Amino acid sequence: MLWNIDLTLLDVGQVMRAAYAEAFEKVTGEPLVYLTSAAGRTDSEMFFEFCARNYVDLEPDNEVLGDFLAALETAFAARHDQLLAKGRVMPGAAASLAAVASFPDTVQTVVSGSTRANATAKLVAFGLDTHLNLAVGGFGSVNYPKSSLIQSIRLHAAGEGGRVYAEEETVFITGSAPDVRAAMIGGAIPIAVLNGSTTEGQLREAGAQIVLPDLSDPRAVMTAVHQATAR
């Protein structure tokens, strides 16, 4: 069972944007004036687009990317006290995580565009890490798209429990159309939630057959997971 974090389980966008700006200027020497959409993107992908949109001429190599991700983790950690004040948990997120955890033989983790450290900090700040096995999660610490992270998670989960999880029993819950497409490519069944600005039509066009209004009804979430994996 895979969960997207931002705008699915919680929203700390205001804090994250400030951290992006600080880290970008520290590494490039230029202000981050033009942002890009974070939906379905990893921090690694976003950094190079930040450079392009802000006319920063940097060689797109792993060294400068590593510098940015390290600076981003430092900038985000420095704002840890702002998470609860400026962020929020999505309605029903904690209850839905607990409900899905009651399914037998189920491993819950995340597919996040954030680095492992930043994703963990977000979840821990709001107490959402309790039912998640973050050791097998997929994070933006590596320069791979989310579809590849989904494939990697199934391998790691098998190594942890000695059980191979097939594509038809791997579910990804998200509110992002790019994430839905990543699920289709990476071998997971998408369940979409209308937590963000993406419309139901956009989510269904991307490939989501199940769309929930939000996570406020844990029973509806459990039913959706059952329906998705019973096909």
pLDDT higher at 37 or 128: 128
pLDDT in tens, 191-230: 999 987 899 999 999 999 999 999 999 999 999 999 999 8
Measure the CA–CA gap between 176 and 199, rounded to whole angstroms.
9
Cβ burial of 87 (10 Å; 0-12, 13-18, 19+) is middle
Round to whole Å and give the CA distance between 214 and 196: 10
Task: Label residue 212 exposed, middle or buried (CB < 10 Å: 0-12, 13-18, 19+).
Answer: buried
Whole-number pLDDT of residue 156: 76
Q: What is the pLDDT of residue 143?
A: 82
Q: For residue 131, is pLDDT > 80?
A: yes
For 168, which DSSP code? G
Q: Where are the domains of the chain?
A: 2-10+89-229, 13-84
Name the average pLDDT for the chain.
Answer: 92
Phi-psi region of 168 (alpha: psi -120 to 50; beta: other; left: phi over 0): alpha
Q: What percent of the chain has pLDDT over 90?
A: 77
Q: What pTM was estimated for this model as a whole? A: 0.93
b/e sequence 57-82, b meaning 16+ C-beta within 10 Å: ebeeeeebbeebbebbbebbeebeeb
| pLDDT for residue 38 | 85
Q: Domain 2-10+89-229 sits in which CATH superfamily? A: HAD superfamily/HAD-like (3.40.50.1000)
Q: Is the pLDDT of residue 81 over 60?
A: yes
Residue 60: pLDDT band with limits 50, 70, 90: low
CB 94 within 8 A of CB 22: no
Residue 6 carries which DSSP code? B
pLDDT higher than 60, residue 160: no
E strands present in the chain:
2-3, 10-11, 88-89, 109-110, 171-174, 189-193, 210-212
The residue that leads in pLDDT, 57 or 78, is 78
Report the b/e string of 119-131 with b at 16+ CB within 10 A.
bbbbbebbebbeb
Range in 76-90, 124-138, 156-170, 196-210 with the lowest mean pLDDT: 156-170
Query: What's the confidence (pLDDT) of residue 79?
Result: 97
Q: What is the per-residue pLDDT across 10-28, written as a single tens digit (0 to 9) for each?
A: 999 999 999 999 999 999 9
